[in-house]
Chain A
């Protein structure tokens, strides 16, 4: 974890505050003055002890172009999620239960913890794979239908499409 300057800490606090406040606004879905003021107060109090859990990413690294890749990523991800569900459905329904499970490993080029977490979560929600562990830069993935034990091939099959975009975002 990077150590933050005082300014970074304040930015981090404001990030948490604004995020919590936005969630409050979405849940109450009203702009009545009472509600908004209460929300601002409550999210301020919650942000005080919890802001260090919200982000480890330095906020000044935010660039508008990244937002475009985030949207691209969301579409790739949603498509993969639907494919994953159809895949699971096919395996569950078919009487023979066509599975060949195993745990494979591969290395990633991503460096930041946050990016690794996003990749791990995406892997879990895409066809036939479930991330079991990340040790430094090595992923251990439970694969319901192992096609190859070679790390390079595994990576190509499982993670390539996400990692390409994530490398651009982070």
Chain B
């Protein structure tokens, strides 16, 4: 029984490690802040959770503590990434857009005149870019 638990814990540790590595690679490869946050947040949430849980399984006395830590990670990770993304946008860090400026619908919150002439602006911006 103990052996099975040990193996299960180690597998969980390995999975966590792989996801954390992929998260790091994602931060390295993605083109802008927002996409990096995407890779960073998701991979570190599941990766961190399974690493901490595996510690709890390999060391049964700590299991409840690790459970609390897992809950904290699940609560804190998305909030912090949201704060980073929001602050980045407010600071003027524009997202990388492959499909053109109309893919950024958040912009009209900061530029009210874009909102009024919504239909014309996308074309206007395109003209500006080509010019």
Contacts and interface: CB of A to CB of B under 8 A. Distances in A.
A, B bound? yes
Interface of A: 23, 26-27, 29, 81-82, 84-85, 88-89, 91-93, 97, 99-105, 120-122, 124-125, 128-133, 135, 140, 142, 144, 146, 149
B109 A146 contact: no
Interface of B: 19, 22-23, 25-26, 29-32, 34-35, 37-39, 41-43, 45-47, 61-62, 64-65, 67-68, 74-75, 77-79, 81-82, 85-86, 89, 95-99, 102-107, 109
13 contacts: A23-B68, A84-B46, A88-B39, A92-B22, A101-B32, A101-B35, A102-B95, A102-B99, A103-B106, A122-B78, A131-B85, A132-B86, A142-B95
Say whether chain A's binding surface is mostly helix, strand, loop, or mixed: mixed
Contacts of A131: 78, 82, 85
B111 to A, nearest CB: 13
A86 to B, nearest CB: 9
Given A29-B64, A29-B65, A92-B29, A125 B103 contact: no
Nearest to A135: B109
B77 A103 contact: no
B58 to A, nearest CB: 16
Contacts of A124: 41, 77-78, 81-82
A144 B30 CA distance: 10
A99 B35 contact: yes
Nearest to B101: A102
A27 B72 CA distance: 13
Contact of B42 (A81, A135, A142): A81
A125 B35 contact: no
A130 B109 contact: no
